[in-house]
Amino acid sequence: MIYTAIFNRHKLIMQCIEHYLSSCDDIQIVLTASDKETLVEKMKDRIINVLIVSFYEITHNDIDMIITLRMKYPKTAVLVVAGSQKEDIVSKTIKAGARGFLTIDSEASHLVQAIYTIRGGHDYYSESITHILLQRYISSMNPSSSQSSDQDEFNDESNALSSRQIEILRLWGDGLANQEIADKLFISVRTVETHKNHIMQKLNLKSSVDLMKFAIRNNIISI
């Protein structure tokens, strides 16, 4: 059984998704929510394998919500259904921790396929999203494009960080533990921890969730 939750600010759309999935024997809807606070609170008491979050246009607040969910409930895979296909938004959404991304013009059957695929431990993207990611990868392989990208990669806030701090932040954002970062960079765990503390102080951040949000918004974490 795949325990599934649905988030959508529009109850009609949420109920339509719930009704469609109710016909699938292996999928059980255990939670629906139309506001972030209710969702985050009620997830504490439930086992949820896949969380479907549906937006029309993805905002920075929506990306922050995905980051928060990823940090609080790392065992729950997030599947995004959205109308937005802007390259930077798609990229940041996936960096935030989404394991799947469907556009609203996808077939309904693709939603079920995505749930099964994600539950099986794999990512799932609709055809248009896959094309966006492929084009982004091809562009990153172009030396002139990469050079330009590197110059524009960080904003004024991230310029306050040293190259070593950015490197540590990028590795941490990619999921490496402090010991793994230390081994990769041939430094001590204490040095890694010191760098992370200095980053938090420089940026005036209060939590690891805030740090993750900063890294995604400033394009430090790569896909």
Q: What is the C-alpha to C-alpha distance for residues 178 and 194, in angstroms, rounded to an integer?
A: 11
| Higher pLDDT, residue 216 or 29 | 29
Which pLDDT belongs to residue 132?
78
User: For residue range 157-180, what is the model confidence (pLDDT) as tens digits?
Assistant: 667 788 899 899 888 877 788 999
- β-strand partners of 101: 80, 125
Q: What is the C-alpha to C-alpha distance for residues 149 and 173, in angstroms, rounded to an integer?
A: 19
DSSP state of 84: -
Domains of the chain (ranges, CATH numbers): 2-136 (3.40.50.2300), 153-217 (1.10.10.10)
Label residue 125 exposed, middle or buried (CB < 10 Å: 0-12, 13-18, 19+).
buried
Look up residue 92 and give its two tokens.
């940041």
- Separation of CA 201 from chain center: 24
